[in-house]
Amino acid sequence: MQFGIFTVGDVTPDPTTGRTPTEHERIKATVAIARKAEEVGLDVFATGEHHNPPFVPSSPTTLLGYIAAQTERIVLSTSTTLITTNDPVKIAEDYAVLQHLSDGRVDLMMGRGNTGPVYPWFGKDIRQGIPLAIENYALLHQLWREDVVDWSGRFRTPLQSFTATPRPLDGVPPFVWHGSIRSPEIAEQAAYYGDGFFANNIFWPKEHFQKLVNLYRERYAHYGHGTPEQAIVGLGGQVFMRKNSQDAVREFRPYFDNAPVYGHGPSLEEFTAETPLTVGSPQEVIEKTLAFRDTFGDYQRQLFLMDHAGLPLKTVLEQLDLLGEEVVPVLREEFAKGRPAGVPDAPTHATRLAAERARHEQGADPAAERTAQTEQTAQTEQTAQSVEVAK
């Protein structure tokens, strides 16, 4: 199981001092946080993608490429790659380059994005969000697996005898998670391809995300990738810790109360009762995180949000020390207890390369697989359009 952190890259005033970091400071702080994550023994660092203030990570591959040069072990990922407004050809090229630079230490999470104005900025219509996600990913999936691509669709100019360069490292594309907070169509898409499904359950009650994860698991098995328990699931979370629980609540309360997303809404106590947010001691974080398995089953990746709402860099680095020294070691041990033998580990480049070689040795037919994928993509897109019309 992998443990890590993700950032949304917000530039938020510190409510206790009134100071707002510059964009330069926030970007450099993100690099420092990623380096610290590796130092304390975390497995994953992930960044979001935003193209509007008050966020700074508009170019995830640039940021992750810079971090890759300063780290050796940690997996570099995205907590959102906008599959709707980015060109699939550019995604294929950019993340293949990053994959080579990082020696395979990269995967990515596809998302539609939740900022409406971004769509017209890139010439897209938000009302076509689901069909865009389905068609664009179908093309990306093909670009990474076929050396020469002929393709046509609804939302992009056709491709004729096109080769995306560079080719994926060792012929194995980066692993893809599909992230969603509300769309069963995305859970279906992840299940069809046998990709991972990431339920970023940081805002809504667990019951909502439990339905999405269960749907993904059922459909994963339906498409023949394995049992429901073998589906690849990731979860989000938010934590703020101090040795003493009361100190954590007292220190974090002004940040929570003034946060752009949930500030001036439910109280801190109400929010922690209804969502995965944990504000307290390391032991409280351990207990609440372990309870996720009761709701979602055994899963492969746990990411925490820790650098938001204006928290200063010094505080975030202190949080990472607590996470790496007191929380994650216990979580690794406890999650391993009783984990069924058939539940897979989190995918890595090395394990996927070995699986791909084994698949080819068993005589898999790539042409037949591509035909089936094309037919299913058309069927899934038609279903998604019907859902959108019904809404």
pLDDT tens figures, 90-101: 999 999 999 999
Rg over alpha carbons for the chain, rounded to the nearest Å, is: 21
What is the rounded CA–CA span in Å between residue 85 and residue 326? 40
CA distance 368 to 27: 45
Percent of the chain exceeding pLDDT 90 equals: 77
Whole-angstrom distance, CA of residue 284 vs CA of residue 275: 14
The predicted-structure confidence for 51-85, as pLDDT tens digits, reads as follows: 988 999 999 999 999 999 999 999 999 999 999 99
Query: What 8-state DSSP symbol labels residue 325?
Result: I
Burial class (CB in 10 A: 0-12, 13-18, 19+), 18: exposed
Q: What is the mean pLDDT of residues 350-374?
A: 72
pLDDT at 383: 45
Share of the chain above pLDDT 70, in %: 92
Confidence of residue 364 (pLDDT cuts 50, 70, 90): low
- The tally of CA atoms less than 13 A away on the side-chain side of residue 285 is 32
State the pTM of this model: 0.91
Give the per-residue pLDDT at 2: 98
Q: Does residue 166 surpass a pLDDT of 90? A: yes
Those residues with Cβ within 8 angstroms of residue 75's Cβ, 6 or more apart along the chain or in another chain: 2, 4, 43, 44, 45, 105, 106, 107, 348
* Residue matched to tokens 């890139």: 122
pLDDT band at 313 (very low <50, low <70, confident <90, very high): very high
